[in-house]
């Protein structure tokens, strides 16, 4: 019989953890890098860049950063995590606290040259293997995916509403007119870009990506007795985005075009780090790799926002690592418990076994009932090293 803490309110370990958990949540809840690096003048700068025939560097502007970084970091490192008796739980709290200290550094330097350094420190940069994988994908022939049927923002909204209602998700759909991405999840709000106009296969993929993973992990995290998985494990971006791409793949909606966009992001990050010229990166994507100007601008803006944001190379790498874990790792579905990271899967599995964490109640539909992909898709996805 299991004797976990989640069902025992007198458990000393959980009492200490809950006190630390509440304090940590109060300290860092609301710290969100993606929202903070979203340029408030994105549409204006895009229009100006095209009007000037790509001859100027966009000047993105951002919201104000939060208050005293030193004081917040001191409060974080003063949390008595050594009182948490369970070593797996203690390890996760230690790592999350360090990661939020790094996030504070990123927030404090948005719009400055130091932001790139802090982004590199947190997310890293593409390796030679990452570049080879991206180059391999970009040399693939274009697919015969149906590109004729385009879906606008209201069409995407309808697809997502049907998806969410079928699964019984708590959600709110919001149309936003100043976004870089076609859609994103923030809490239980699903934001859709007003200007989105994408092929039907991509619209369906977007639903599986944003709702099937990002919303699912948000809802599962909120059901946990502890809030730590709502805050997220360190660099959970790679795992979360990897699972989201895996969800597209297992649903049968991962197109070659989509993989090529992920590959272009890797090369754009490399270009940004080396050249630090928005125009040079944009022209590389447009002239050397044939991206249309809207796609090239979107990808370039994503990697230059904030002063140099290296996160986007992790999508392809995360997909490779998560696909391997899906096929090989025990307890893979426990990654859906919240905003988890693959590096913490052993600890998360043990904490679920000990009933300190709850197993996920919402399961990504494509993980639950995957569709067969054709031989070409299976070959390509498994050829990514």
pLDDT tens digits along 102-111: 999 999 999 9
Q: Please choose, from the candidates 184, 134, 130, the residue with its C-alpha nearest in 3D space to the C-alpha of residue 156.
A: 184
Average pLDDT over residues 5-29: 78
Average pLDDT over residues 70-95: 95
Task: State the DSSP code for 140.
Answer: S
CA distances, 100 to each of 25, 77, 155, 306, 358 (Å): 11, 10, 37, 17, 24
* Buried b or exposed e, range 8-32, using 16+ CB within 10 angstroms: eeebebbebbbebbeebeebbeebe
List the Cα angle 335/258/120 in 5-degree steps.
60
- The pLDDT assigned to 320 comes to 96
Residue 328 has pLDDT above 80, yes or no: yes
Residue 1 has pLDDT above 80, yes or no: no
128-138 helix and 314-328 helix, angle to the nearest 10 degrees: 90
Strand segments, DSSP code E, in the chain are 150-152, 172-176, 183-186, 189-193, 197-199
Tell me if 210 sits within 8 A of 190, measured CB to CB: yes
Residue 90 has pLDDT above 70, yes or no: yes
- The pLDDT assigned to 2 comes to 44
Task: Give the Cα separation of 146 and 218 in Å (integer).
Answer: 32
Six-digit token string for 22 = 């509440």
Residue 32 banded pLDDT, cuts 50, 70, 90: confident
Task: Give the Cα separation of 5 and 11 in Å (integer).
Answer: 6
Q: Please choose, from the candidates 111, 62, 113, 130, the residue with its C-alpha nearest in 3D space to the C-alpha of residue 268.
A: 130
Give per-residue pLDDT as tens, 150-200. 999 999 999 999 999 999 999 999 999 888 999 999 999 999 999 999 999
Residue 242 has pLDDT above 60, yes or no: yes
Residue 147 banded pLDDT, cuts 50, 70, 90: low
Residue 66 banded pLDDT, cuts 50, 70, 90: low
- The pLDDT assigned to 145 comes to 64
- The pLDDT assigned to 143 comes to 74
Give per-residue pLDDT as tens, 248-304. 999 999 999 999 999 999 999 999 999 999 999 999 999 999 999 999 999 999 999
Average pLDDT over residues 63-91: 91
Six-digit token string for 204 = 């369906």
User: pTM here?
Assistant: 0.93
Residue 87 has pLDDT above 90, yes or no: yes
Average pLDDT over residues 14-34: 92
Task: Give the Cα separation of 248 and 335 in Å (integer).
Answer: 17
Token match 């993973």: residue?
Answer: 213
Task: State the DSSP code for 144.
Answer: -
User: H or E element: which one contains 191?
Assistant: strand 189-193
Residue 68 banded pLDDT, cuts 50, 70, 90: confident
Q: Which range has the worst mean pLDDT, 17-21, 31-35, 56-60, 348-352? A: 31-35
Task: State the DSSP code for 372.
Answer: P
Task: Give the Cα separation of 58 and 49 in Å (integer).
Answer: 7
- In the three-class reduction of DSSP (H, G, I as helix; E, B as strand; rest coil), residue 62 is classed as coil
Residue 91 has pLDDT above 60, yes or no: yes
Tell me if 267 sits within 8 A of 284, measured CB to CB: yes
Average pLDDT over residues 61-77: 87
Give per-residue pLDDT as tens, 192-228. 999 999 999 999 999 999 999 999 999 999 999 999 9
Strand 172-176 relative to strand 189-193, pairing: parallel
Q: Give the percent of the chain with pLDDT over 90.
A: 86
Residue 3 has pLDDT above 60, yes or no: no
- The pLDDT assigned to 221 comes to 98
Residue 33 has pLDDT above 50, yes or no: yes
Residue 144 has pLDDT above 70, yes or no: no
CA distances, 5 to each of 2, 14, 336 (Å): 10, 6, 20
Residue 30 banded pLDDT, cuts 50, 70, 90: confident
């Amino acid at each position: 019989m299991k004797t976990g803490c989640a069902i025992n309110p007198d458990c000393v370990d959980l009492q200490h953890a809950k006190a630390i958990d509440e304090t940590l949540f109060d300290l860092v809840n609301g710290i969100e890098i993606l929202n903070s690096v979203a340029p408030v003048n994105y549409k204006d700068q895009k229009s100006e860049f095209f009007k000037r025939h790509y001859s100027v560097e966009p000047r993105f502007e951002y919201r104000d950063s939060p208050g005293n970084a030193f004081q917040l970091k001191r409060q974080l490192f003063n949390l008595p995590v050594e009182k948490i008796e369970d070593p797996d739980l203690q390890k996760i709290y230690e790592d999350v606290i360090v990661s939020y200290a790094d996030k504070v550094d990123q927030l404090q330097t948005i719009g400055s040259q130091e932001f790139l350094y802090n982004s590199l420190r947190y997310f890293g940069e593409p390796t030679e293997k990452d570049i080879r994988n991206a180059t391999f994908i970009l040399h693939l022939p274009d697919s015969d995916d149906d590109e004729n049927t385009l879906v606008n923002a209201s069409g995407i909204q309808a697809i997502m509403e049907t998806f969410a209602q079928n699964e019984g998700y708590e959600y709110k759909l919001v149309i936003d007119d100043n976004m870089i991405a076609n859609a994103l999840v923030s809490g239980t709000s699903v934001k859709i870009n007003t200007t989105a106009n994408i092929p039907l296969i991509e619209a369906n993929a977007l639903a599986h990506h944003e709702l099937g993973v990002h919303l699912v992990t948000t809802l599962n995290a909120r059901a946990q007795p502890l809030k730590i998985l709502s805050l997220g494990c360190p660099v959970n971006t790679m795992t979360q985005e990897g699972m989201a791409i895996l969800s597209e793949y297992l649903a049968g909606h991962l197109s070659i075009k989509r993989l090529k966009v992920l590959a272009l992001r890797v090369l754009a990050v490399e270009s940004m780090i080396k050249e630090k010229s928005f125009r040079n990166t944009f022209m590389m994507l447009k002239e050397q790799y044939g991206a249309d100007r809207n796609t090239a601008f979107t990808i370039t803006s994503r990697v230059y926002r904030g002063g140099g944001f290296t996160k986007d190379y992790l999508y392809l790498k995360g997909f490779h690592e998560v696909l391997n874990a899906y096929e090989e790792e025990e307890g893979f579905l426990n990654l859906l418990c919240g905003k988890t990271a693959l590096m913490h899967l052993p600890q998360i599995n043990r904490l679920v076994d000990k009933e300190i964490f709850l197993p996920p109640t919402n399961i990504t539909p494509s993980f639950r009932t995957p569709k067969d992909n054709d031989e070409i898709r299976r070959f390509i996805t498994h050829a990514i090293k």
